[in-house]
């Protein structure tokens, strides 16, 4: 089956798909669309909305992610915008191969991450999903409020109504800016801090994380198929993210080596994401990709630039360099002399090599023939 046949089979006309549109800052905006037409690798989509949010633009050459299917049999393919159609119509060209969404579960790394897991007596999927959504919405609202509070003082004053009481910490005793002699740049580090400091005291756990779930070493024994609410602090760039999810226990096996080391029963626990935002899943996959790229880059620096600052090999002293140079020169001289001797030997052998029995018999017969016809054998050679 050709690529065009696979595109037509997986993305038929009328199919509802999820479109991932990249936006500045490394995030992705998700919207759903309907496939209007497909011709080989050209696909015409109709987005669900007439206008896109601010910062989300559909430019020619932008690469999108088209996903279809469900959580069990989901698949995706990359596409590039060819031209923008009328209103919500967008013309795309599918590129690459169709990839199963399940492959994201095998894209994983080992990392130390601050993780909070909760032992919940509530095991109703419906109630846990509602609680998960409410918690997620509350966190987004709190993050937005924290970013608003982190605005610079002059921006807050410019936007504040006249009746609003101004914060006392932003003024001196006489109601004016408190001039410290260092300008207004000094407090920006505190005011501009948008990080969530509630995670500062959370000890990171050794976890194996992927887009499909996480495996950790826990001291609590979970039964299989138990629903576990989970929070993950993801140190992604440019800003860290808090991932809220509800997981289901896939396995929980006792780790006897860890039990002996910590003098406490420990279990290798595998948790599979049950409820999680797709953009949070994408953030996990993006974080894994960035960490792996950094590790590959670091390994290349260590192996290609071993004399660099990160190398464990000490730099050679001048005496060691001189010895190495003399040793290298001596080896080169010996090799040259050996090659010269071999060349002269084979040249001399080719010119003065002893004749074999066949050659001697031929020369004797030829000499006798010359003598028979009255010619000098020495002149016939």
Is-contact 68 15, C-beta < 8 A? yes
Structure token digits, residue 259? 């039990």
pLDDT digits 0-9 by tens, 216-254: 999 889 999 999 999 999 888 778 888 999 999 988 988
* Residue 243: exposure state from Cβ atoms within 10 A (0-12, 13-18, ≥19): buried
Q: Is the peptide bond before 238 cis (omega within 30 degrees of 0)?
A: yes
Output the pLDDT for position 141.
86
pLDDT digits 0-9 by tens, 282-319: 888 888 878 877 877 777 666 555 554 444 555 667 78
Residue the block writes with tokens 């609003």: 164
Positive or negative, the CA dihedral 77, 83, 87, 89 is: negative
**pTM check: above 0.85:** no
CA–CA–CA angle 250, 256, 257 (5° rounding): 115
Q: How confident is the model at residue 170 (pLDDT cuts 50, 70, 90)?
A: very low
Mean pLDDT, residues 52-74: 77
* Residue 230: exposure state from Cβ atoms within 10 A (0-12, 13-18, ≥19): buried
Output the pLDDT for position 185.
43
Instruction: For the chain, give the mean pLDDT.
Output: 77
* Helix segments in the chain, DSSP class H: 3-10, 125-149, 153-159, 188-191, 256-262, 278-304, 318-352, 357-372, 377-380
Output the pLDDT for position 111.
84
Q: What is the 3-state secondary structure (H, E, C) of 113-174?
A: ECEEECCCCCCCHHHHHHHHHHHHHHHHHHHHHHHHHCCCHHHHHHHCCCCCCCCHHHCCCC
**Radius of gyration of the chain measured on its C-alpha atoms:** 38
- Cα 194 from Cα 164, distance rounded (Å): 23
- Cα 316 from Cα 199, distance rounded (Å): 46
Q: What is the CB-side half-sphere exposure of residue 185 using CA atoms within 13 A?
A: 3
Structure token digits, residue 51? 């206008």
- Alpha carbon dihedral 309, 310, 312, 313, in 10-degree steps, equals -40
Residue 43 has pLDDT above 80, yes or no: yes
Percent of the chain with pLDDT over 70: 75
Strand partners, 210: 108
DSSP state, 314? P
Structure token digits, residue 221? 């024994």
pLDDT digits 0-9 by tens, 118-158: 998 888 989 999 999 999 888 888 878 877 776 655 555 55
Residue 72 has pLDDT above 70, yes or no: no
- Can you give the length of the chain in residues? 381
- Alpha carbon dihedral 279, 284, 285, 288, in 10-degree steps, equals 160
Of residues 37 and 313, more confidently modeled: 37
Instruction: Give the largest Cα separation in the chain, rounded.
Output: 140
């Amino acid at each position: 089956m050709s690529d065009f046949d696979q595109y037509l089979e997986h993305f038929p006309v009328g199919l509802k798909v999820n479109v991932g549109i990249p936006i500045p800052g490394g995030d992705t905006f998700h919207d759903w669309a309907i496939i209007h037409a497909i011709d080989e690798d050209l696909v015409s989509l109709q987005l669900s909305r007439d206008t896109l949010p601010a910062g989300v633009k559909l430019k020619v050459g932008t690469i999108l992610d088209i996903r279809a299917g469900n959580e069990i049999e989901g698949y995706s393919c990359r596409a590039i915008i060819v031209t923008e159609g009328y209103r919500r119509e967008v013309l795309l060209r599918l590129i690459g191969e169709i990839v199963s969404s399940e492959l994201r579960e095998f894209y994983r790394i080992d990392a130390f991450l601050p993780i909070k897991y909760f032992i919940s007596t509530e095991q109703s999927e419906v109630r846990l999903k509602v609680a998960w959504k409410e918690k997620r919405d509350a966190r987004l609202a709190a993050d937005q409020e924290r970013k608003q509070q982190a605005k610079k003082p002059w921006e807050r004053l410019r936007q504040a109504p006249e009746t609003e009481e101004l914060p006392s910490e932003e003024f001196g005793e006489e109601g004016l800016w408190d001039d410290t002699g260092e300008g207004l740049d000094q407090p920006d580090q505190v005011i501009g801090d948008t990080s969530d400091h509630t995670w500062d005291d959370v000890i990171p756990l050794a976890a194996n994380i992927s887009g499909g779930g996480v495996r950790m070493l826990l001291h609590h024994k979970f039964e299989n198929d138990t629903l576990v609410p989970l929070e993950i602090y993801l140190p992604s760039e440019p800003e860290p993210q808090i991932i809220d999810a509800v997981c289901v226990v896939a396995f929980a096996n006792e780790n006897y080596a860890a039990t002996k080391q910590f003098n406490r029963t420990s279990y290798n626990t595998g948790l599979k994401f049950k409820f999680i935002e797709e953009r949070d899943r994408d953030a996990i996959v993006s974080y894994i990709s960035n960490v792996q790229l950094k590790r590959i880059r670091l390994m290349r620096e260590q192996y290609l630039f071993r004399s660099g600052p990160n190398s464990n090999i000490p730099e050679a002293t001048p005496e060691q360099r001189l010895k190495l140079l003399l040793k290298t020169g001596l080896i080169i001289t010996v090799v040259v002399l050996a090659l010269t001797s071999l060349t002269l030997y084979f040249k001399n052998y080719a010119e003065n090599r002893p004749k074999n029995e066949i050659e001697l018999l031929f020369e004797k017969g030829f000499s006798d023939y010359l003598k028979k016809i009255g010619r000098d054998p020495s002149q016939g050679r």
